[in-house]
Amino acid sequence: MGTNFYWLAPPLDCPHCHGKIELDFVNGGLRVPSEDEDSAPSSRRAEHIGKRSAAGLYCYDCDLTLIVGGVHSSGSSQHQACPKCGAKPPDFSKLDRGAAAVELGFAKPEPERPKGVYTAASFSWALEPDGGEGVRAILGRNLKAKIVVDEYGRTYTGAEFLSMLRSNCPIEFRHIGVSFS
């Protein structure tokens, strides 16, 4: 369960796109339609930025996961309160909020970073996030431009994507150069 994110523009440089990019659920990534749709479509995978995944309970005040054994480890149990400050999570019995509800499509990501114990998402980077030409630098130069698309076709400006990361993804992994989805 998770959501993959790809460059839409400007890093996706395709002279044959004619401004059209389409999702391709069969082959993964994005499909660039050919000039002649009667011929075999020309497909090109968009550059994968990374994947957001539900990661269980997290204390945003203490910057601590409540997952015993670490996030995304198999067979892990979960503390019912923050082991450092004792804060308890709100009720997540309905799928109308929280990281799992977001990944299942029942809720939108949080607009601001939560306080106390709340669900969190991790972000696994497929591209270098930091540095002069890292993803964050490119997003920062394109705050108002729609340059990111998720696997469901939702587009994001640089500012919207950075905000989503800050508010929802306190846990990050680097899988630079590894093909995953």
Q: Are 172 and 122 in contact (CB under 8 A)?
A: yes
Cis peptide, bond prior to residue 10, ω within 30 of zero: yes
Q: From residue 51, how far is each of 16, 40, 55, 122 by CA, in Å?
A: 27, 30, 12, 8
Grade residue 45 by pLDDT with cuts at 50, 70 and 90: low
Q: How far is CA 113 from the centre of its chain?
A: 15
Confidence of residue 14 (pLDDT cuts 50, 70, 90): very low
User: With a threshold of 0.75, does the pTM exceed it?
Assistant: yes
Percentages of the chain per state (helix, strand, coil), in multiples of 5: 15, 25, 60
CA dihedral (90, 92, 94, 98) in degrees, to 10, reads 100
pLDDT band at 38 (very low <50, low <70, confident <90, very high): very low
For residue 153, the model assigns a pLDDT of 87
The span from the CA of 146 to the CA of 12, in Å, is 12
Residue 131 has a pLDDT of 80
pLDDT over threshold 50, residue 25: no
DSSP for 158-174 reads HHHHHHHHHHH--EEEE
CA distance between the termini of the chain: 10
